[in-house]
Structure 1
Amino acid sequence: MAKATATPPRVNRTRELAAMTAAARPWTYQVAFWGLAALLFFPPFFRGLFFPPEQELALMGAAVIFWFTWLWKHGWRDYSFLSHPLDYFTLALPLVYIIAAFGAVNYGLAVDEIVKNILYFLAYWVAVQVVEREEDAGRLLHVIYLAAAGVALAGLFTATGLVYIKDGFLNGRIYSTFQYPNALASYLALAGFLGLFFWAHYGSRTVGESITDRVLLKTLPRRLLECRPYGYFYAAANFILLAVLFGTRSRGGLLITGAVFLLYLIGLHWQKRLPVLLHALYVGGLGYTTSHKFIAAAMAKQMGTAWLWILGGLTLVLAGQWVYAFAGKRSLSPWLEDKKRVNAGLASIVIACLIAGTAVLTTHHQVLEKVTSFTYLRNAFERTYFVQDALAMIKDRPVLGWGGGGWEEAYRAYQGYLYNSNEVHSHYFQVAVETGVVGLLVLLGIWASFLWAAHRAYWSAPASSTSRAMSWAVTTGALAVGLHAAVDFDLSLSALTLVLWTLFACARVSGYNRAQVPSNKLQAAKKGGIRPSNPVALAAATAAGAIVFLFAFFLASANSYATQAAGYLQQGNVRQGLAAMQKAAAYNPFNADYHTVLMRIYLSMGKPQQALEEARRSAALSRYSAGRQADLARASLAAGRYQDAVSYALRAVELAPYQIAWYETLAATCAAAGRGELQAGNKDAARRYLEQALKVPEMIQARVAGLGEEEKKLWVDAPMLSVTPGVHLGMGQARYLLGDLPGAEKSLQAAMQDNQLKGEASLWLALVREKQGKTGEAKKLVKEAGQINKNLEAAYERLKAVPTL
């Protein structure tokens, strides 16, 4: 066994300096730093922070952390705010979203995007302030790493039923708490690069080297201080991360991670390349095999077997780490100091991998056929359409875009066939749609500033230093996320974007070479360079933090009232439900959904004018929603505004021409408008509306005729457009009112094929039978309709009184 050596004096001095600096930091700094750490650690476990309610709570927390950061800075008389190009660009992005919101097509979604981007800036800015040394960055990176390991374990637990996470494991893919496997893959890939860095640079540290407290160093046994357990911990955590990364089965995520890993190897110091490559191949190979077997066992409900595979892989990983540590003591370390041997070893491994890959492709032709098939590449083909539609939207609003959420609101008016995607599946195109060229340039400025800062941090550090390795891990981890975000909507999950923005902050701080020196504030204090107190700056920061906090608080309160309203309405308590929803709309006047619910409440209460007013407010807040236009049509019918109702129904079809629901709404609206005009004695207007209902099939056929063959192949999210029972129901009503009894009978019998429409179709068919003189059949049909819905029997007598043409 190698003889133990004393800790070098230089290491002791560095450790003492770190301990003194940490001890000098006030409690306000500790609150700010660990508050940021909490903001990075917990969001991944809350559905990846994808949904507005969680984002609003996170923003409230970020506002508090922001204020404590300013309070700490005030103690040092440091009132700097922005001082780097990256600072300005990260602030510019939420500002652009705020400006774009004035012309947004959906104000509620625009507000949600403002919340997210303010949250990102606050997290970034706080990170820039509190990360003063390499140790600070290391702590935050460890928080990110540990959170990712926790998310990975949660994925394994939910796959085997130990915990329940909605949509955490579906169709043999691990979604975990992110509920989206591709974003999970991106998150785990980022953590994986951090894990490789930790293993390579911290894995060989002793317990004594990681302790800064003098009392502990003196009291703990020497044998414990000389232990090197960290390599085993990082190896085990990396295995879990990689196993779940493979378990996401994210094609794009794995391809991009592999490409960035090659870049990561190139940027490493030559002495670290071979150990990192061997570690990645060994742990990754075990992770891939274990993941495949684990998922197969989990799918077969063999939970014990699934966990045996994980434990077996973990055991082999730890055994491999022991072998590596043992060999390092004996012969590996001298061998790794010979650059020619290292390069020869790397070349041999690369050649072996290429030969193995070529052998697999040549002996398994089905693999190549599979990966080049339309079925395998279907998602890639589909996303080219997303981008085409995004470009068309950008062309129509090039400067400031459609406002936050603009794609989700308006894409159906531009799509070339029916697909369902509230995200562009490219973060950069999504930002361009929402904020135009201005927002895209700001986003590109963020990346350019980050890469410049990362370049500066990398080359300003010594070649073999931990600082350079940390900067490179941060850079490649961010690149893995950024490249994947070009082909997916990973960054719509705020938990991942918060982590990415924190990496930006670490690179920006390291780029100023602050990671190599003690706290600049301590230095300023020693030199007597502290500026005078500026309470105005603190007051301004306090006001800004309070505004952000209250902004998020009101939005969160609105969500709370809306949830209460939903509960009351489910219980049948309409009065309290109405009151709660009115409060929700008052606390967040931008959310169209609240006004839609109010419209429905008023309709149920028999108050059509109030319902129409709420429908108008909803449509004004959400201008490209076919659903809002359909609601307007419904409310207009109730208020007796028939021409408006038909216009709104037509507008719904224009906004979403490939969704059959709006054609059904149009047919029903035209029939109802015709019936209303007949009751009012306006026969010409009635005929016009009723004949318009009969033209709906032609509209459907014309839309289908405009589809290309590839678009028809890609259409899988719903049945192809056709004349559905819902359309037949509206046509049957119109034909009855026009006096075409045979045609009405045919249409209504087609409508009865849908069980949900059977009651109403039976009612109208009874009217046809009554006109045909088949009273017995009519009564039988009315009785059947009443069994489905008691209100239909009463409606029959009212409809009998409606004149026909």
Structure 2
Amino acid sequence: MSKPVYGKNVAQSKGSPKIESPIWVLVIVLILFLIWAPFQIGLFNGYRGDFEKSLYISVLVSLLMLLGWIALNASKFKITEQRDLILLAAVLLPVTYTLSLLVAVSNYSAMNMMFIQSMFAAVFIISVFLLKQARINIILQHSLLTIAYFIVAFGLLNWLGSWELAGKLVGWFSEPVHGGKYNDAVMTDSNGLRLTSIFQYANTYAAFLMAFLFVAVFALIRSRKGYARLAHGFMLVPVIVSILLTLSRGGLVMLPVVFILLLLFLKPLQQILWIVHLGIAGVISLIIAAPVTNAGIALNEVYTSSTALKGWGYLLGGSLIAAVLSWLIQRYATPWLGGKLHRLNSRKGSGLWIPLGSLLLAGIIAFLFIGTSMKNILPANMKTRLENINFNQHSVLERITFYKDAIKVVKDYPILGTGGGGWASLYEHYQNNPYISHQVHNFFLQYLIEVGILGFIVFMGFILYIVYKYLIAYVKRETDEYNNGFFYLIIALSILLHSLLDFNLSYAFMGILVFIGLAGMAVTMDSKPLKRNWNKQWLRWGYFSVLGAGSFILLFILAGYISSTNAIAKGKQLLRVSQTYEEIKAPFVKALNQRPGHPEASIYLSSLDQQVFNQTRNEQFLDESYQVVTRALTNEPYNKQLLTQLADYYDLNGQGNLALGVYRDHADNFVWDIKWVDTLISRSLNMGTAANTRGDEVEKQAYFNLGLEAYAKVLAGVEYLKTLPQEQLQGRPYLVTPTIALNVGKMQLLSGEPEKAQATLRLGFNENYADLLNNNNLWEMDWYGTLISRTYDQGLAAFKGDDEDNMEANLNFGLQAYNQILADLEYWNTLPPEKLEGKQLTIPPAITLNAGKMKMITGKLQDAAATLKSGLSEDYSDATNREIARWYLAALKRANADLDQTIYDKLLAADPAESAQVDTAAALQF
């Protein structure tokens, strides 16, 4: 028996048919597409509008390639074998997403995901056609590896301080490059710096790296050229180091799982070579991991050439050593070992022993790095991540919660699903605790949510059939591993398995890689002749008619969507530089004409109309705002920003009860959003106190009961969160905020329960306001004055410290207190003098001044001006009155309103220096 020749190259096979020029054009376009896509849609996850134009262009290119394929194959295509049926079945993937549009909870996201699935189907069909050509198959493999290596190098350039060079390399065609730097190629989270390269999400980058680590080993072993072996061997260390720098626990957990599964496909010689090459590269990577990590951390704080050179020295030196050792092993050890293992390779079942041993070895290595002092060789951040790998770790517990909540969605939308983006729209209604996650962190569950059981069966049937038929073919494999599609299996299997723990395929580029991988497997699957005659002319032409008509329809829609996206981008730019309403409005109107109900355009236009109405009181603008919002809400009923815009419209239209209704009716959709509940309670108090002023006791109590019921749910929620496992993070803050405490306390006070009111204040006031609880004059004007002064000071301090959340919380707290004063005064003015009991019926100037300033900081310029003007007196010798006048005039100036010349003249008559101080106040950056 002759010895097998490892690494035989399909390109060397003679007698291959000549490839026509139009096919080469299709190949070139596909390769250019694969070069462009990762830097444009590598980070598009289907639900972010930032990169929708890049997505639409990508889909457009893929559909044009599909039309090219139709032109090349319409007269040649025959349905004679099982592989041909797979090409027909691929069309069902976008069809299931199209069906889900009928019940979509977000038309915007559902359309995006339908486009993405159409792109995946097009790429799959084109790839199957091209990969049948042996020469093209090899070219695409080399292209994918080259692109992957460039992405790895790109990430390390950013890690080791050369972000300007990295930005220049891709900035001429990549939108995420701003100011010469690719956004978040190195990101910071609670774990410290993490490498993400093009993805802006470390876990997905880890999945990408894992796939191409194994592809690189495969390429190294089957390469016959010395330079190719050196190149692939050289890249093993950068890939492994990059995996470590992602700090992805999921990547570290899934890597040995995928590795052992891949070993099962190999013969003993190849298994040994895989282990040796990865072992050598792994040891070198662990040795240099600490200095490379520390260099990157230092360089991302302060760049120094010496630190950069040191980091690059370790990385390049380690890579070079790995490359030389890999070359030596392939050049000298492999032929000798192949001869020794020839008989073993031919035995059935011989490939099982090494994977079983590798499983044991992986367990030992995991124990050494997690349970012993061996982990100390790792950098501190990696060591911490390894120590936290356990089933009680918060990331695991959070994912389990996501999965349980996802099943709730499936139960309510079982057949056709929610449409694309359904989880992102609905999860706040179903969530167990106040986490923020627009992804389920399990691709398969998310797919089930989006297309329901029907679409999920189609998708899983499509994948599993290809895998099944590929495995049958693989059992019969020849030694030529180009032909058996193993290169593509590695890509598809690695990414799909990692997607059990994350949402990798929500990133369009990762999905493209998987579908190319599936296509490569389909080309080499066991494709038997069909038992019945499917090769009917009507079926062939019907198939091409559906593909062609569908592609043209989508191209027509995409043209409008791209134009709409351009218009939105122009409108957003004009908002920053223009003061002309009609000029700013025009692009948003154009965007909505081309894509009615687009949520982002609707929000911008509605907000613009409301601002103009505030200035002009022209009902036309208010009516248009309502029409824009309500039209958008028909397609996006769970969009929180649109709902807030609708409530703002009702406020401006004097329909506070309807504004409250928006928050009441959607409270169950955002049950763990404490800001939503806070606003609901605040509005309940406002409406209740207004009813109290009118003397309507029944209506007052009805509104108060609504607020108190919401408060009771908050208390219950706070208690429930205490039952979560200690290791699980609860997510967003969910507690009795000072604002809730103030508003609920006032409702309880006005309901005749002063003891409950004081207890509520104690529950909600934080340490910054604790001393106010011991005041003997709770709810009196002086108490309110101290509270408002404190909130202003705290809010201003937070503003200066760039703590936007604390600034907003403190200022809203103070403004709620001010609103309570106004409500009290309005009620007291309805009482006869004998019932006032010495109540102060005027607001002290200091309170008015602080309230006006807070409104200015929060951008409510017209309200600020009105508030400040209401506190003015004729005594301009008084310093506080002059300060009120100064800020009043500054508010008018910032709002581009007409200057109150009378007040201005009086202020300058008292102190001419006030002119400069008004300008200074108006110029402050809030």
TM-score by length of 2: 0.73
Corresponding residue of 1:384: 400
Deviates more, 1:253-262 or 1:635-644: 635-644
How far is 1:282 from its partner? Answer: 1.0
**Is this contact kept in 2: 1:110–1:403, CA < 8 A?**
yes
How far is 1:368 from its partner? Answer: 12
Corresponding residue of 2:185: 168
Q: Write the mapping of 1:690-709 to structure 2, written as runs, cut at 5 A.
A: 692-693=706-707, 696-709=710-723
* Deviation readout 1:638-683 (Å, 9 max, x if unpaired): 2233332222111232111111110122133334545776899977
* Deviation readout 1:45-89 (Å, 9 max, x if unpaired): 225141433221100111111111122224x64376995453344
Tell me the secondary structure at the aligned position of residue 263 of structure 1. helix
Q: How many residues align?
A: 746
Q: Write the mapping of 1:656-805 to structure 2, written as runs, cut at 5 A.
A: 656-673=670-687, 685=699, 688-689=702-703, 692-693=706-707, 696-710=710-724, 714-725=728-739, 728=742, 742-743=778-779, 753=791, 755=795, 756=808, 757=811, 760-761=815-816, 763-764=818-819, 767=822, 778-788=844-854, 789=856, 791-792=862-863, 794-796=865-867
CA separation of 1:581 and 1:737: change in aligned 2, threshold 3 A: farther
CA separation of 1:256 and 1:739: change in aligned 2, threshold 3 A: closer
Tell me the secondary structure at the aligned position of residue 172 of structure 1. strand
1:423 corresponds to 2:439: yes
Corresponding residue of 2:244: 246
Corresponding residue of 2:424: 408
Q: Separation in 2 of the partners of 1:695 and 1:91? A: 51
1:435 corresponds to 2:451: yes
CA separation of 1:263 and 1:447: change in aligned 2, threshold 3 A: same
1:499 corresponds to 2:513: yes
**Is this contact kept in 2: 1:168–1:176, CA < 8 A?**
yes
* Deviation readout 1:85-107 (Å, 9 max, x if unpaired): 53344322211111111111111
Q: Supply the AA of the counterpart residue of 2:217.
A: L
Corresponding residue of 1:616: 630
1:309 corresponds to 2:314: yes
Q: Supply the AA of the counterpart residue of 1:603.
A: Q
Q: Separation in 1 of the partners of 2:196 and 2:158? A: 9
How far is 1:140 from its partner? Answer: 1.9
How far is 1:353 from its partner? Answer: 7.0
**Is this contact kept in 2: 1:409–1:624, CA < 8 A?**
yes
Q: Separation in 1 of the partners of 2:750 and 2:587? A: 43
**Is this contact kept in 1: 2:852–2:868, CA < 8 A?**
no
CA separation of 1:760 and 1:642: change in aligned 2, threshold 3 A: closer
Q: Supply the AA of the counterpart residue of 1:184.
A: Y
Q: Separation in 1 of the partners of 2:355 and 2:414? A: 49
Residue of structure 2 aligned with 1:29, choices 4, 23, 31: 23
CA separation of 1:504 and 1:294: change in aligned 2, threshold 3 A: same
**Is this contact kept in 2: 1:735–1:743, CA < 8 A?**
no
Q: Write the mapping of 1:340-489 to structure 2, written as runs, cut at 5 A.
A: 363-364=372-373, 371=387, 377-462=393-478, 464-467=479-482, 470-489=484-503
Deviates more, 1:451-460 or 1:693-702: 693-702
Deviates more, 1:604-613 or 1:441-450: 604-613
1:588 corresponds to 2:595: yes
Corresponding residue of 2:297: 299
Corresponding residue of 1:265: 263
Q: Write the mapping of 1:529-568 to structure 2, written as runs, cut at 5 A.
A: 542-568=548-574
CA separation of 1:727 and 1:41: change in aligned 2, threshold 3 A: farther
Corresponding residue of 2:583: 576
How far is 1:345 from its partner? Answer: 9.7
Q: Separation in 2 of the partners of 1:748 and 1:260? A: 65
Q: Separation in 2 of the partners of 1:488 and 1:356? A: 24
Q: Separation in 1 of the partners of 2:680 and 2:332? A: 76
Deviates more, 1:703-712 or 1:275-284: 703-712
Corresponding residue of 2:890: none
Tell me the secondary structure at the aligned position of residue 274 of structure 2. helix
CA separation of 1:587 and 1:261: change in aligned 2, threshold 3 A: same
Q: Supply the AA of the counterpart residue of 2:437.
A: S
How far is 1:419 from its partner? Answer: 0.3
Q: Supply the AA of the counterpart residue of 1:270.
A: P
Corresponding residue of 2:38: 44
Residue of structure 2 aligned with 1:194, choices 198, 215, 218: 215
Q: Separation in 2 of the partners of 1:348 and 1:674? A: 72
Residue of structure 1 aligned with 2:649, choices 624, 635, 638: 635
Corresponding residue of 2:662: 648
Q: Separation in 2 of the partners of 1:347 and 1:429? A: 30
How far is 1:500 from its partner? Answer: 0.4
Tell me the secondary structure at the aligned position of residue 465 of structure 2. helix
Corresponding residue of 2:77: 78
1:179 corresponds to 2:200: yes
Deviates more, 1:370-379 or 1:582-591: 370-379
How far is 1:779 from its partner? Answer: 1.5
Tell me the secondary structure at the aligned position of residue 295 of structure 2. helix
Deviates more, 1:42-51 or 1:666-675: 666-675
Q: Separation in 1 of the partners of 2:87 and 2:593? A: 35
TM-score by length of 1: 0.83
How far is 1:257 from its partner? Answer: 2.0
Q: Supply the AA of the counterpart residue of 1:618.
A: A
**Is this contact kept in 1: 2:196–2:246, CA < 8 A?**
yes
Corresponding residue of 2:380: none
1:17 corresponds to 2:15: yes
Tell me the secondary structure at the aligned position of residue 198 of structure 2. helix
CA separation of 1:354 and 1:703: change in aligned 2, threshold 3 A: closer
**Is this contact kept in 1: 2:199–2:205, CA < 8 A?**
yes
* Deviation readout 1:673-727 (Å, 9 max, x if unpaired): 4577689997764664366446543332133234352167534433232133367
How far is 1:15 from its partner? Answer: 4.8
**Is this contact kept in 2: 1:602–1:610, CA < 8 A?**
yes
Tell me the secondary structure at the aligned position of residue 416 of structure 2. coil
Structure 1, unaligned runs of 5 or more: 1-6, 206-227, 515-528, 801-805
Q: Write the mapping of 1:104-143 to structure 2, written as runs, cut at 5 A.
A: 104-143=104-143
1:603 corresponds to 2:610: yes
CA separation of 1:738 and 1:579: change in aligned 2, threshold 3 A: farther
**Is this contact kept in 2: 1:48–1:494, CA < 8 A?**
yes
**Is this contact kept in 2: 1:634–1:669, CA < 8 A?**
no
Q: Separation in 1 of the partners of 2:692 and 2:522? A: 72
CA separation of 1:734 and 1:146: change in aligned 2, threshold 3 A: farther
1:91 corresponds to 2:91: yes
Identical pairs, percent: 18
Tell me the secondary structure at the aligned position of residue 393 of structure 2. helix
* Deviation readout 1:424-458 (Å, 9 max, x if unpaired): 11111111111111122122112211212321331
Tell me the secondary structure at the aligned position of residue 714 of structure 1. coil
Q: Separation in 2 of the partners of 1:473 and 1:314? A: 23
How far is 1:11 from its partner? Answer: 9.2
Tell me the secondary structure at the aligned position of residue 173 of structure 1. strand
Q: Separation in 2 of the partners of 1:535 and 1:372? A: 57
CA separation of 1:739 and 1:618: change in aligned 2, threshold 3 A: farther
Tell me the secondary structure at the aligned position of residue 245 of structure 1. helix
CA separation of 1:554 and 1:728: change in aligned 2, threshold 3 A: farther
CA separation of 1:363 and 1:734: change in aligned 2, threshold 3 A: closer
* Deviation readout 1:733-779 (Å, 9 max, x if unpaired): 99899999954766786576362426735744764897776578612
**Is this contact kept in 2: 1:766–1:778, CA < 8 A?**
no
Tell me the secondary structure at the aligned position of residue 485 of structure 2. helix
Q: Separation in 1 of the partners of 2:819 and 2:389? A: 50
Q: Separation in 2 of the partners of 1:348 and 1:706? A: 46
Q: Separation in 1 of the partners of 2:567 and 2:740? A: 35
Q: Separation in 1 of the partners of 2:816 and 2:11? A: 87
